[in-house]
Amino acid sequence: MRARWVTLSGLVLLSLAMPAAAQTPTLDAQTPPPRRPATVRAPRAVPVGARVFFALDSDTMTASKTFDAILGSSTLAAYGGGGEVLNIWRRVFVRGALTFVSKDGTRVQPSGDEFIPIGIPLTVTMRPFELGGGWRFGKSERDRVIPYVGGGLLLVGLKQKSTVPTETAESTSDSFTGTVLFGGVDLMPAGKFMAGAEVQFRSVPNAIGDDTTTSKERNLGGFTLRALVGLRIR
């Protein structure tokens, strides 16, 4: 990182110095041309850029029985957005993204491998925050199709709110840490606008439920299919 900044600083200084060089008197034809300093070769690196995106996710949860029982489905739709700093070193990028999913369901009682709905409404809200990085393939950000892979930490904020007739709604929230691996492709359909698709594998162990159920579903992770649209800023 520091080396990169040193390189960039060198480039900036060089560009400032170049006009001065242009004003120096013309040398004799016999005078050999000055040798180019070695640092000039640095611009072969891809310039730093950024992109911001809006994401639409389809999360298929690993704890399918639990989610099926409580929320009626183990596939949840989430939305959110994020940003990436691209090419911070060669083709490396870093990412931060936050998505949001909320769904109504019912509280349950686990019994063996079964979940018995008990008629108390429940609203579950999840906010997975991704902090990670990865590698973008290809030589340039000008490529029309750029595949990428990456991984990172996942911090999932989970909140559930139950509504019972005679009691103030009970709200419980907690946060859990896990990991995420992802891979996808960016498409550059027009200028700065980009679209993309991504698949993620998330693992958030020991987050939900308990060991009393036969299936012992405790992971809040799963597979995520993500559609992205956004802007790339050079």
Partner 1 sequence: MRSFRVRVGVGVLLLGGFVLVSAGRSGSAQVAAPATPALRLTAELIDGYQEARAHGWRFLPGQAIVRFKAGTTQMRRARALSALRGQPAVGSLEWIGDSAVVRDPTERDARLLVERLLDQPEVESAEPNYLRRLPATRFPGIAIENSAARPAGTPNDELYSRLQWNFNLLDMPSAWNINDGGSSSVIVGVIDTGVTTQQQTVTLPLFTGVSIQQVPMLFDVNPDLPATRLVSPRDFIFFAAGSPVVDMTGHGSHVSATIAEETNNALRLAGMAYRTKILPVKVCVGYWELMIANAQLNRPGFLVPPDEDGFCTESAISQGIRYAVDNGAKVINLSLGGSDASTLERDAITYAVQNGAFVSISAGNDFEDGNPTNYPASYAATIDGAMSVGAIGKSETRAHYSSTGTWVEIAAPGGDDRTPGSGEDSGVIWQSTLRFTDQDPSVIIPRFDRYNAIGYQGTSMAAPHVSALAALLRSQGVTDPKAIEAIIRATAKDLGDKGKDPSFGYGLIQPRAALFGRGLIR
Residues near partner 1, by CB under 8 A: 66-67, 70, 105, 107-112, 114, 116-120, 122, 124, 158, 160, 162, 164-167, 172-174, 208-210, 212, 220
Shortest Å, Cβ 203 to partner 1: 16
Shortest Å, Cβ 141 to partner 1: 40
Q: Which is nearer to partner 1, 34 or 112 (CB)?
A: 112
- What letter would DSSP give residue 5? H
Q: Which is nearer to partner 1, 9 or 171 (CB)?
A: 171
Question: The tokens of 210 are what?
Answer: 């308990």
Shortest Å, Cβ 129 to partner 1: 18
Distance CA 209, CA 203 (A): 15
- What letter would DSSP give residue 32? P
Shortest Å, Cβ 109 to partner 1: 4
Question: Is-contact 130 97, C-beta < 8 A?
Answer: yes
Question: Is-contact 77 56, C-beta < 8 A?
Answer: yes
Q: Which is nearer to partner 1, 170 or 192 (CB)?
A: 170
Rg over CA atoms, the chain: 26
